[in-house]
């Protein structure tokens, strides 16, 4: 089968190759999925670039945790009726050498989740990381029902879903920060009440004004290193900051404002959600997908042969939405 892979970390055009590798066979408890679309996330790109670790955990890595396709074979112990099922995939490349940037992927049956008929494979390839992260950020620690929520970076792959998840989970008010008019439109179309240009406007003043001076109950934070000062200015007393991203490996937080404001800081990584949180997220997403309640934002689809371009696009930060690789030749 055709697959993309790398055997050392480094720049995409130096280390990413596309070529033939052996077709994997599903073992006990596993399914094989014919991948139609493979989602590219910042995490995949950082792993390939060696930003977290220069040494590879496996001799060869097929990248990408997210994807969507059709089950084409099952291993022992998996219901044969799964063959032919449309699925979306999570954690394919987390602590595994075999991600979704290939014509086929084999993985534990539970990591291939039924994809409703009306949802495209490109959208299905955005669920594993962006949508699950957004859902959990909105739902964790009592959720956002009746609360006011600030989604930092409300036009990003996660942020766009986070605006929608907050809305769907009953937030009273959703404010998004963005950096252009096009991103503002995207966030507003997703359900934000207000989009604040954090580069152009006095973001703290606009958010405080929108909350009648009270501040927001929850911040869903894409870059805690860049935004901690703003967050402390716009967070309500006793509010929480749910952090899923940081633009820097280390950052400083001021002790006194944090303690006086009774700030609750919550960090999480979607790969390590526990079974209950994952099941809750999947159940909600499934219901929303079935009734067409979620809008997806695929910025660009790139053929597998051009995976380098897909990685470079994600790396550039210029894509407004998800970047998806087409793996199916059919
Ligand atoms: N914890 C987890 O499980 C988890 C899961 C998914 C993603 N992540 C991480 O979260 C980050 C975003 O992922 P993504 O897939 O959503 O990326 P993305 O599609 O590139 O979105 C990032 C968004 O954040 C905006 N942004 C950047 N800096 C900002 C700032 N200081 N304030 C407000 N907005 C800002 C960007 O727009 P502008 O540059 O125009 O502002 C962009 O719209 C990445 O670092 C990723 O590794 C973590």
Q: Which domain CATH number covers 112? A: 3.90.180.10
Name the average pLDDT for the chain.
97
pLDDT for 53 equals 87
Distance 153 CA to ligand 1 centre (A): 6
pLDDT band at residue 61 using 50, 70 and 90 as cut-offs: very high
Same domain, 213 and 314: no
Q: Choose the final residue of a domain: 224, 246, 267.
A: 267
Residue 214 lies in a domain: yes
Same domain, 154 and 176: yes
pLDDT for 52 equals 84
User: At which residue do the structure tokens 């697959």 appear?
Assistant: 3
| Number of separate domains in the chain | 2
Interval 264-277 mean pLDDT: 98
Same domain, 125 and 242: no
The Cα 121–Cα 199 span in angstroms is 35
Same domain, 209 and 302: no
Q: Indicate whether 43 pLDDT > 80.
A: yes
Token pair for 12 = 């995409």
Residue 110 lies in a domain: yes
Q: Which DSSP symbol is given to 24?
A: P
Residue 64 lies in a domain: yes
Domain enclosing residue 189, as ranges: 141-267
Same domain, 120 and 177: no
Q: Indicate whether 26 pLDDT > 90.
A: yes
Q: Indicate whether 313 pLDDT > 60.
A: yes
Instruction: Express each pLDDT in 194-217 by its tens digit.
Output: 999 999 999 999 999 999 999 999
Same domain, 78 and 21: yes
Same domain, 65 and 11: yes
Ligand 1, CB within 6 Å, residue ranges: 41-43, 129-130, 133, 152-153, 155-159, 177, 179, 198, 222-223, 226-227, 244-245, 268-270, 317
Q: Can you give the pTM of this predicted structure?
A: 0.98
Nearest CA to ligand 1 atom 34: 153
Closest to 151 (Cα-Cα) out of 163, 141, 168, 139: 163
Residue 277 lies in a domain: no
Same domain, 61 and 169: no
Q: Which DSSP symbol is given to 309?
A: H
Same domain, 193 and 87: no
Same domain, 157 and 194: yes
Same domain, 262 and 152: yes
Distance 221 CA to ligand 1 centre (A): 9
Distance 77 CA to ligand 1 centre (A): 39
The answer to whether 320 and 299 have CB atoms below 8 angstroms apart is: yes
Nearest CA to ligand 1 atom 9: 245
Instruction: Express each pLDDT in 86-123 by its tens digit.
Output: 999 999 999 999 999 999 999 999 999 999 999 999 99
Residue 290 lies in a domain: no
Q: Indicate whether 185 pLDDT > 90.
A: yes
The Cα 16–Cα 78 span in angstroms is 33
Same domain, 111 and 155: no
The Cα 27–Cα 49 span in angstroms is 31
Backbone CA torsion sign across 200, 201, 203, 204: positive
The answer to whether 145 and 170 have CB atoms below 8 angstroms apart is: yes
Ligand 1: which of 41, 64, 156 to mutate, judged by most atoms within 8 Å of the beta carbon? 156
- Please count the other Cβ atoms lying within 10 Å of the Cβ belonging to residue 264: 14
Residue 308 lies in a domain: yes
Residue 120 lies in a domain: yes
Q: Indicate whether 316 pLDDT > 80.
A: yes
Number of the ligand 1 atom closest to the C-alpha atom of 133:
5
Interval 186-197 mean pLDDT: 98
The answer to whether 35 and 327 have CB atoms below 8 angstroms apart is: yes
Number of the ligand 1 atom closest to the C-alpha atom of 269:
3
């Amino acid at each position: 089968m055709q697959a993309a892979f790398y055997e050392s970390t480094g720049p995409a055009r130096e280390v990413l190759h596309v070529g033939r590798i052996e077709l994997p066979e599903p073992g006990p408890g596993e399914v094989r999925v014919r991948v139609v679309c493979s989602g590219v996330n910042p995490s995949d790109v950082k792993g390939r670039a060696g930003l977290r670790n220069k040494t590879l955990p496996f001799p060869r890595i097929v990248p990408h945790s997210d994807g969507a396709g059709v089950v084409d074979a099952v291993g022992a112990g998996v219901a044969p009726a799964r063959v032919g099922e449309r699925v979306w995939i999570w954690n394919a490349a987390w602590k595994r050498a075999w991600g979704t940037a290939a014509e086929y992927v084999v993985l534990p049956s539970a990591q291939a989740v039924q994809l409703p008929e009306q949802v495209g494979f490109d959208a299905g390839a955005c669920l594993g990381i962006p949508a699950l992260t957004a859902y959990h950020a909105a739902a964790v620690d009592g959720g956002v029902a009746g609360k006011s929520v600030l989604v930092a970076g409300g036009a990003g792959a996660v942020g766009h879903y986070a605006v929608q998840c907050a809305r769907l989970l009953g937030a009273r008010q959703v404010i998004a920060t963005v950096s252009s008019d096009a991103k503002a439109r995207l966030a507003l179309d997703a359900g934000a009440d207000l989009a604040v240009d954090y580069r152009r406007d006095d973001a703290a003043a606009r958010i405080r004004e929108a909350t009648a001076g009270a501040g927001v109950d929850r911040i869903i934070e894409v870059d805690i290193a860049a935004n901690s000062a703003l967050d402390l200015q716009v967070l309500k007393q006793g509010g929480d900051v749910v952090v899923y991203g940081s633009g820097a490996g280390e950052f400083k937080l001021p002790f006194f404002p944090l303690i006086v404001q009774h700030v609750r800081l919550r960090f999480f990584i979607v790969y390590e959600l526990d079974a209950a949180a994952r099941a809750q997220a999947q159940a909600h997403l499934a219901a929303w997908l079935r009734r067409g309640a979620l809008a997806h934002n695929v910025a660009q689809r790139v053929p597998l042969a051009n995976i380098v371009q897909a990685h470079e696009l994600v790396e550039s930060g210029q894509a407004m939405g998800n970047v998806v690789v087409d793996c199916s030749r059919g």
